[in-house]
Amino acid sequence: MIFNFEERLSDSPYAEVIWRNHCESGGPFISMAMSHWQMVVTRHAGKVTLTVRGPETKATLAYCPPGAEHFGIFFKHGAVLQHLPASYLRDGMVDLPEARSDSFWLDDSVWQFPN
């Protein structure tokens, strides 16, 4: 599997690291244990999904489909989503529901992806 992976430190008071990747050929990989939670936007096969993940207490096996693109934000300790506490997300993830093809639900609000 080939990842084109880029990351940088964030200048936001809430985000630790901003990252993106493109998975040229699909396959399994090891997702590292992280004490931070993250939001990940995935674009694959014409569909966009927003996932909230982690924190993870152990490394886990994950899969990246061929051609998938990801954009993610690792949030700093102390940054929270009140309706998705870290205890709920620990060692797991949740895909946020789609509101329309270009937007998603976050709590009681609809957020639109930029063009």
pLDDT tens profile 38-66: 999 888 988 888 888 888 899 888 888 89
pLDDT of res. 102: 62
Across-strand partners of 20?
Answer: 6, 71
**Could you give the CA distance from residue 19 to residue 41 in angstroms, rounded to a whole number?**
11
Q: What is the pTM of this model?
A: 0.79
Does residue 112 carry a pLDDT above 80? no
Domain definitions of the chain by residue range? 2-112
Task: Tell how far CA 33 is from the center of its chain.
Answer: 14
pLDDT of res. 101: 62
pLDDT of res. 113: 54
The CATH code belonging to domain 2-112 is 2.60.40
Give 7-37 pLDDT, tens digit per residue. 999 999 989 999 999 988 888 888 888 888 8
Residue 21: what are its φ and ψ, rounded to 5°?
-155, 165
Taking the alpha carbons of 96, 99, 100, 104 in that order, is the dihedral positive or negative?
A: negative
pLDDT of res. 29: 82
- Letter for the amino acid at 24? E
pLDDT of res. 114: 54
- Eight-class DSSP state of 83: T
**Could you give the CA distance from residue 18 to residue 33 in angstroms, rounded to a whole number?**
17
